Amino acid sequence: MKKYIGLEEMKNVNCSSVLGVICNCGEVSRKQITDITGLSWGGMTKIVNKLFEHGYIEEAKCEKVSGVKRTPNIIRVCRDKHFVIGLDINRVGFGAYVMNLAGDIIKEYSSDLSYCDKEELLQAIFDFIGQIADEFKEKKLLAMGVAMQGILDVENGISVRFPHCPDWKNIPIKDILKEEFGVEVFIEHDPNCMLYSSQHEEESENMLLLRMDNSVGMAASVNGRIIRGNGLLEVAHCIVVPQGKECRCGEKGCLEAYVAPCLSKNGVNKQAVYELVEPLAIFMNNMVRIFHSDTIILTGKLAKYHEIFEKELLEKFHQFYDGEEISVRFVEEEERAVRGATLIAVQGAIERLRI
Ligand SMILES: [Zn+2]
């Protein structure tokens, strides 16, 4: 870690924090900016002027009080100049949002995906993003956030494995996209993106999110921070039933061995769902005890069928767990991953601001 922060870096940090305050507050006065950031009036004024100059912010329209124009002193972020792209790349398709720094979704995209090998998958990713970048080429795209399925090395921006793509190995996807599209790229596990999106909607600071479809992914926040790290929270092969159902990994009784059979091409397999209830309740109990979660969000394709097992699951869960009240909710919204990826891109664009 660097011991000293140079003056130039300090300026950038201050620019980022001022823009962050303006984005978070919606509309804000100069006085409020100094109060929140602790900057001097002079320091704040310099930064605000710079942000005006580069088109990041504008004066909010001033009200006319009895015909007299008041001095405009409320600032807000420009909604039509700078944008980010958020992407969800998963086994069956792509989703994307284009968002401005105020958090408005400007346009949504989606597309099915089929591929046989690495080349086809990469080409499909390029084509999909290329079409969006093309549409917004007159505007300024600052960053791209990518929610990705499979095994990821987030720190190095590497997609280690992608489902059903055998020759997809250790692809430096962050660098590839950065070079192709010339923007800062942020890669994140899809459950983390979903949790990031949920953090914008829920009060809870200690949340657990389980995504259940053909496999199972988990994300957790503790004291408002998302737990991150390569290989952490890979829960699919936690054993929930000793000598239980056979899993594709070769072991018996993994959580995935109970989740995976629940969904098939023909819809839901009710028998498999009933068999999932107890192992899932045990798993939830264990995780809540480790992470002190007060909210559990169950999402993914299986959440669509919550009506057939929600009651039984909650009963079982409460049999095991009789501590403080925990809110367990099913969320069907499929766009949570792409929304989270886009919000991560907004955050990243603000933090990496260099003007
Ligand atoms: Zn397994």
Please write the tens of the pLDDT for every residue from 125-159.
999 999 999 999 888 999 999 999 888 888 899 99
User: Ligand 1 center to residue 237 CA distance, Å?
Assistant: 4
User: Ligand 1 center to residue 260 CA distance, Å?
Assistant: 10
User: Ligand 1 center to residue 151 CA distance, Å?
Assistant: 15
User: Ligand 1 center to residue 150 CA distance, Å?
Assistant: 15
pLDDT at 146: 97
**Model confidence, pTM:** 0.86
Please write the tens of the pLDDT for every residue from 311-354.
999 999 998 887 778 999 999 877 889 999 999 999 999 999 98
Averaged pLDDT for residues 91-97: 90
User: Ligand 1 center to residue 190 CA distance, Å?
Assistant: 20
Task: Show the tokens assigned to 76.
Answer: 């807000």
User: Ligand 1 center to residue 234 CA distance, Å?
Assistant: 11
pLDDT at residue 72 is higher than 70: no
Q: Do domains 7-77 and 203-330 have the same CATH topology?
A: no
pLDDT at 67: 56
- Give 181: exposed, middle or buried? Use CB within 10 Å, 0-12, 13-18, 19+: middle
Among 3.40.50.460, 3.40.190.10, 3.30.420.40, 3.40.50.300, what is the CATH number of 203-330?
3.30.420.40
pLDDT at 5: 61
pLDDT at 266: 82
User: Ligand 1 center to residue 38 CA distance, Å?
Assistant: 51
Write the CB contacts of 159 (distance below 8 Å, at least 6 apart in sequence): 148, 150, 151, 152, 153, 168, 170, 171, 173, 187
pLDDT at residue 255 is higher than 70: yes
Q: Which residues pair with 311 in a beta bridge?
A: none
Cross-sheet strand order for the sheet of 327-330: 225-226, 216-222, 207-212, 295-299, 327-330
User: Ligand 1 center to residue 215 CA distance, Å?
Assistant: 10
Averaged pLDDT for residues 20-43: 91
pLDDT at 218: 94
Confidence of residue 66 (pLDDT cuts 50, 70, 90): low
User: Ligand 1 center to residue 142 CA distance, Å?
Assistant: 40
Q: Which residues pair with 351 in a beta bridge?
A: none
User: Ligand 1 center to residue 253 CA distance, Å?
Assistant: 7
User: Ligand 1 center to residue 235 CA distance, Å?
Assistant: 9
pLDDT at 63: 56
Kindly provide the residue ranges of all beta strands, DSSP E only, lying in 163-310, ordered along the sequence.
169-171, 184-189, 207-212, 216-222, 225-226, 263-264, 267-268, 295-299
Confidence of residue 3 (pLDDT cuts 50, 70, 90): low
User: Ligand 1 center to residue 258 CA distance, Å?
Assistant: 10
User: Ligand 1 center to residue 248 CA distance, Å?
Assistant: 6
User: Ligand 1 center to residue 64 CA distance, Å?
Assistant: 66
Confidence of residue 163 (pLDDT cuts 50, 70, 90): confident
What are the residue boundaries of the structural domains of the chain, listed by start?
Answer: 7-77, 82-194+337-351, 203-330
Please state which of the ranges 151-155, 158-162, 243-247, 297-301 shows the lowest mean pLDDT.
151-155
Q: Which of 174, 181, 178, 141 is nearest to 160 (CA)?
A: 174
Averaged pLDDT for residues 281-307: 94
The more confidently predicted of residues 6 and 37 is 37
CATH superfamily to which 82-194+337-351 belongs: ATPase, nucleotide binding domain (3.30.420.40)
User: Ligand 1 center to residue 256 CA distance, Å?
Assistant: 6
Q: Which fold has domain 7-77?
A: Arc Repressor Mutant, subunit A (1.10.10)
